[in-house]
Amino acid sequence: MLRGPLRVPHGMSLRAGGFSRGPFATLNLGLSVGDDPVTVRANRERFAASFGLPLERVMRLDQVHGAAVRVAGVDPIGAEGDAVISDDPAWLLVVSAADCLPVLLHDPVTGAVAAVHAGWRGAVAGVVPATVAALGERFGSAAADLHAWFGAAIRGPRYQVGPEVAAAFERAEAPVAALWTDPDEPGRYRADVATLARAQLLRAGLASAHVQDAGVCTSADPRCFSHRRDAGRTGRHWAAIQARAPA
């Protein structure tokens, strides 16, 4: 598992350590990719157990590449949305990804946490700053107190996009470093969602030193599932975080 510097239980699964076979080998946590549901449940139970919780306490979402933020224990498991927040250690918050950027947030003052699924559509829709705002509204979290960690995701050198995505990045005021002309194919671009998300967090009030990145590219790293690299026939990771009462 990839783990970051946040001072609560958190991390992101890698593809090793489960029961799935073939293109889903081995720790596939996605039920919508064609893998055996019984095997996926066993994988999910193993992952949840690594945080000391049963699968029934995992707050997952029906992700739709938008900006809706849900609350664990208030909204039902499987609610439509792309971010989930909580200050209750009884819940494990997860988002699923196989190229999209997982963003985990922790407020050491209030103990609140968040898990965010930021594909390019969600990122330009503002799911990252929406989650910062939701933490403030629900739990009184100040943006300056928040710490963020980015899990594995496809990175700009491996992420070719068309002009419609480039235009969306520009509308979202992406920094120059988040989008550049593809040197190999005229009319195409390279996009880096992590760079956009970092800029959004800083604009929302997070300190630069509080935003940490695993720096792992799902497309380049064989430890990872990658929807783009594997032409859609692959598994899914979970990025997860669990609240803990502040000291």
**If pLDDT is split at 50, 70 and 90, which confidence band does 133 have?**
very high
CB atoms within 10 A of CB 157: 12
pLDDT digits (tens, 9 = 90+) for 1-48: 999 999 999 999 999 999 999 999 999 999 999 999 999 999 999 999
Alpha carbon distances (Å) from 68 to 12, 46, 127, 231: 22, 28, 7, 28
Which is more confidently placed, 49 or 184?
49
Question: Which pLDDT score is estimated for 245?
Answer: 80
3-state secondary structure 153-220: ECCHHHCEECHHHHHHHHHCCCCHHHEEECCCCCCCEEECHHHHHHHHHHHHCCCHHHEEECCCECCC
Alpha carbon distances (Å) from 174 to 5, 89, 137, 171, 178: 26, 34, 26, 8, 6
Question: Which pLDDT score is estimated for 97?
Answer: 98
**If pLDDT is split at 50, 70 and 90, which confidence band does 246 have?**
confident
Question: Which pLDDT score is estimated for 215?
Answer: 98
Question: Which pLDDT score is estimated for 12?
Answer: 98
Question: Which pLDDT score is estimated for 166?
Answer: 98
Question: Which pLDDT score is estimated for 18?
Answer: 98
For residues 152-158, average pLDDT = 98
Contact 225, 15 (CB under 8 A): yes
pLDDT digits (tens, 9 = 90+) for 94-118: 999 999 999 999 999 999 999 999 9
pLDDT digits (tens, 9 = 90+) for 204-224: 999 999 999 999 999 999 999
Question: Which pLDDT score is estimated for 152?
Answer: 98
Structural domains in the chain plus CATH codes: 10-242 (3.60.140.10)
Question: Which pLDDT score is estimated for 145?
Answer: 98
